[in-house]
C-alpha cells in the first residue's frame, strides 16, 4: 500500500548514495564524476531516457584476480593482494559502477567452523579454482512442523550442527523455549552446558570465524573508499534478501528435497515461505539502512524456465517473491533481481511491480530483445553479454554482439550493458570493447545530465 507524504527510507538512501555521503572523495573531480555516474544509474533504473547506456559489472572473480595476479585461494586469504587486483582492474576499465569481492568470502570464516556446505580452494580444490557451494539436504522432510513451530530452535539445534562439526555441541542443548525461571528450564540449560565441554570450543570456533569476517569487512570498506572515493565508482551490490522458495530449495531441503515437497507437501512449503517472507523483507530493509544503500539485491535461483512449469512458478515461487519485492519497493527501495538461467517465460511477472523500481539482470540464455519488448516502460534490464563470448571470441565478434544488443535494448532507456554471469576467463580486450560499445552509444532524447 502506498504511503502518504512522509519521506520513505529508500528516497533518503537514494539521495545519500547519489551524493556519496559515505565517501571521502579524493578530489572535487572524483566527487562530480561519482555523482554523475550514480545519478545515471538511478535515472536508468527509473526508466528516464538518458540517451546513455551505463555499463556495470555483474561481478568479477578470476578476471579481477589476474590483475594481481592472485589465485582464488589468495583472494580468500590475502586481502591486501586482492585489494590491489580489484583496484587495478577498475583503473584499467571504465565501468559506471563497481561490484567488488563481496562473494569472495574469507576462507577463515568457513575453515574455523569447518563449514561443510562449501568446497574451498587450497582445502578441497586446487588453489586456482573457485570455491563452490554444496547443495544438500540440511532439513529433513519431516521437520517442516518443527521449523514452523520454533524456527530459531531448529536453526540453533539442528541446522547449524549439520553445517558445521564445530557447532555440533549446540545440538545437545535443551530447547530454550522451556527456560522460564530457575526451577523451570534454567536448570536444564545450565546442566546441559556443564555436561558439554564442547560448547567452549564451539564458541571459540564462532569467534575465530567472526574475526575472519571482521577483517574481511574492514577490507571491503577500504575497497569501497578506494573505488568510490578515488575512482568515482558507485557501489552496486549491498544489502541482500532471498526469494523464500530459494531458501528452501538451495539452503534447507536441496533441490531434490524441494521437488519431492512440491508434490508431497506443497502446503507445508507455502507455510514455511510465508513464515520466511517478513524476515527476508526486514533483513533487506535493515541491510539497506545499515549500509546506506538503496538497491537491495536478490539472486534468483530455482525459478528459471525449465526448472519448473509456469503453474508451479505461479503457485510456489512467485507469490512470496512478489510480496518481498513489493515490500521493499514500498519502502522506496530499488531491487536488483539477478535472474540466473533462462527467464523468458517469467519476465512478464515483473510488470506486476510498480514501474521503474527494479533492475533485472539477464544471463545470456534469456532473450534480451524479448525482455526489452516485454518490460519496456516497466522495468530496467541489464546483462546478457555471454561470458563465453568474452572468453573465447574475437574483439570483432564481441563488438558485433554488443552493438546489436545496444540497438535492440538501448532505445528509450531502461538498459545497462553487463556480462551474463560472474566473470572469470575473459579477454581484457573483449571486456574493454563491451564497455566501449556502451560508452559510444547515444540514443535519442537524452537528458544530457551525465
From the CB of 392, what's the least distance to another protein, in Å? 4
Which grid cell is 308?
A: 519448473
CA distance 171 to 133: 23
Contact 142, 87 (CB under 8 A): no
Considering beta carbons, is residue 49 or 66 the nearer one to another protein? 66
Considering beta carbons, is residue 64 or 426 the nearer one to another protein? 426
Considering beta carbons, is residue 80 or 267 the nearer one to another protein? 267
CA 361 to mean position of chain CA atoms: 11
Select the residue interacting with another protein from 119, 162, 322, 408 (CB under 8 A): 119
Select the residue interacting with another protein from 260, 271, 326, 395 (CB under 8 A): 260
Write the CA distances from 48 to 33, 208, 226, 376, 405, integer angstroms.
19, 48, 29, 12, 19
Contact 302, 320 (CB under 8 A): no
From the CB of 248, what's the least distance to another protein, in Å? 13
Stretch that binds another protein, among 8-16, 21-29, 329-337, 419-427 (CB under 8 A): 419-427
From the CB of 238, what's the least distance to another protein, in Å? 25
CA distance 399 to 401: 5
CA distance 433 to 402: 9
Strands 240-241 and 295-300: parallel
Select the residue interacting with another protein from 35, 50, 60, 130 (CB under 8 A): 130
Select the residue interacting with another protein from 135, 150, 168, 274 (CB under 8 A): 135
Stretch that binds another protein, among 38-46, 126-134, 188-196, 438-446 (CB under 8 A): 126-134
393 binds another protein per the rule CB under 8 A? yes
Residues touching another protein, count (CB under 8 A) = 40
400 binds another protein per the rule CB under 8 A? no
Q: How many residues does the chain have?
A: 450
CA distance 224 to 432: 22
Three-state SS at 240: strand
176 binds another protein per the rule CB under 8 A? no
From the CB of 341, what's the least distance to another protein, in Å? 6
395 binds another protein per the rule CB under 8 A? no
For the chain, the first-to-last Cα distance in angstroms comes to 33
Select the residue interacting with another protein from 184, 207, 214, 392 (CB under 8 A): 392
Region 25-64 residues binding another protein, contact defined as CB under 8 A: 62
CA distance 156 to 168: 10
Region 291-330 residues binding another protein, contact defined as CB under 8 A: 306-309, 312
* 132, β-bridge pairs: 119
CA 260 to mean position of chain CA atoms: 27
134 binds another protein per the rule CB under 8 A? yes
Considering beta carbons, is residue 119 or 439 the nearer one to another protein? 119
- Long-range contacts at 211-215 (CB < 8 A, ≥ 24 apart): 211/108, 212/106, 212/107, 212/108, 212/109, 212/111, 212/112, 213/106, 213/109, 215/79, 215/106, 215/108
Select the residue interacting with another protein from 236, 262, 321, 431 (CB under 8 A): 262
Considering beta carbons, is residue 47 or 269 the nearer one to another protein? 269
DSSP H or E run through 183: none
CA distance 343 to 346: 5
Contact 418, 383 (CB under 8 A): yes
Select the residue interacting with another protein from 77, 384, 387, 430 (CB under 8 A): 387
425 binds another protein per the rule CB under 8 A? yes
Considering beta carbons, is residue 34 or 301 the nearer one to another protein? 301
136 binds another protein per the rule CB under 8 A? no
Select the residue interacting with another protein from 49, 215, 424, 436 (CB under 8 A): 424
Stretch that binds another protein, among 121-129, 162-170, 222-230, 369-377 (CB under 8 A): 121-129
From the CB of 129, what's the least distance to another protein, in Å? 4
173 binds another protein per the rule CB under 8 A? no
From the CB of 127, what's the least distance to another protein, in Å? 11
Write the CA distances from 61 to 108, 231, 250, integer angstroms.
18, 19, 22
Contact 125, 132 (CB under 8 A): yes
CA distance 358 to 163: 34
- The footprint of another protein (CB under 8 A) covers 62, 119, 125-126, 129-130, 132, 134-135, 255-256, 259-260, 262-264, 306-309, 312, 340-341, 363-365, 386-389, 391-393, 420-426
Amino acid at each position: 500500500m502506498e504511503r502518504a507524504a512522509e519521506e520513505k527510507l529508500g528516497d533518503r538512501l537514494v539521495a545519500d548514495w547519489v551524493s556519496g555521503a559515505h565517501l571521502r572523495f579524493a578530489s572535487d573531480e572524483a566527487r562530480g564524476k561519482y555523482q554523475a555516474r550514480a545519478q545515471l544509474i538511478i535515472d536508468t533504473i527509473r526508466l528516464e531516457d538518458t540517451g546513455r547506456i551505463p555499463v556495470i559489472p555483474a561481478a568479477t572473480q578470476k578476471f579481477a584476480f589476474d590483475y594481481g595476479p592472485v589465485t582464488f585461494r589468495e583472494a580468500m586469504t590475502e586481502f591486501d593482494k586482492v585489494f590491489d587486483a580489484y583496484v587495478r582492474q577498475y583503473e584499467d576499465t571504465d565501468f559506471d559502477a563497481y561490484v567488488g569481492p563481496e562473494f569472495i568470502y574469507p576462507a577463515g570464516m568457513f575453515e574455523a567452523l569447518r563449514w561443510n556446505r562449501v568446497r574451498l580452494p587450497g582445502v578441497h580444490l586446487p588453489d586456482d579454482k573457485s570455491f563452490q557451494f554444496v547443495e544438500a539436504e540440511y532439513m529433513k522432510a519431516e521437520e517442516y512442523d518443527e521449523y514452523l513451530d520454533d524456527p530459531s530452535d531448529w536453526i540453533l539445534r539442528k541446522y547449524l550442527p549439520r553445517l558445521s562439526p564445530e557447532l555440533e555441541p549446540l545440538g545437545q542443548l535443551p530447547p530454550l523455549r522451556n527456560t522460564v525461571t530457575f526451577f523451570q528450564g534454567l536448570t536444564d540449560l545450565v546442566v546441559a552446558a556443564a555436561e558439554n565441554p564442547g560448547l567452549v570450543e564451539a564458541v571459540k570456533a564462532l569467534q575465530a570465524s567472526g574475526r575472519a569476517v571482521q577483517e574481511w569487512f574492514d577490507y571491503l570498506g577500504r575497497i569501497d573508499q578506494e573505488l568510490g572515493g578515488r575512482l568515482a565508482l558507485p557501489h552496486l551490490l549491498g544489502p541482500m534478501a532471498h526469494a523464500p522458495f530459494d531458501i528452501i530449495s538451495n539452503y534447507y531441503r536441496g533441490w531434490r528435497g524441494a521437488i519431492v515437497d512440491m508434490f508431497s507437501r506443497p502446503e507445508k512449503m507455502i507455510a514455511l515461505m510465508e513464515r520466511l517472507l517478513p524476515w527476508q523483507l526486514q533483513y533487506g530493509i535493515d541491510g539497506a539502512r545499515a549500509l546506506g544503500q538503496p538497491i537491495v539485491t536478490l539472486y534468483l535461483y530455482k525459478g528459471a524456465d525449465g526448472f519448473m512449469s509456469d503453474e508451479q512458478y505461479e503457485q510456489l515461487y512467485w507469490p512470496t517473491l512478489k510480496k518481498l519485492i513489493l515490500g521493499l519497493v514500498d519502502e522506496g527501495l530499488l531491487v536488483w533481481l539477478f535472474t540466473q538461467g533462462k527467464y523468458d517465460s517469467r519476465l512478464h511477472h515483473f510488470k506486476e511491480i510498480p514501474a521503474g523500481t527494479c533492475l533485472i539482470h539477464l544471463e545470456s540464455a534469456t532473450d534480451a530483445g524479448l525482455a526489452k519488448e516485454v518490460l519496456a516502460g516497466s522495468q530496467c534490464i541489464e546483462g546478457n553479454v555471454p561470458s563465453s563470448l568474452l572468453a573465447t571470441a574475437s574483439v570483432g565478434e564481441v563488438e558485433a554482439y554488443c552493438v546489436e544488443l545496444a540497438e535492440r535494448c538501448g532505445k528509450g532507456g531502461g538498459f545497462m550493458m553487463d556480462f551474463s554471469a560472474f566473470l572469470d576467463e575473459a579477454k581484457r580486450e573483449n571486456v574493454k570493447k563491451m564497455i566501449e560499445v556502451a560508452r559510444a552509444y547515444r540514443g535519442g532524447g537524452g537528458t544530457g545530465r551525465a
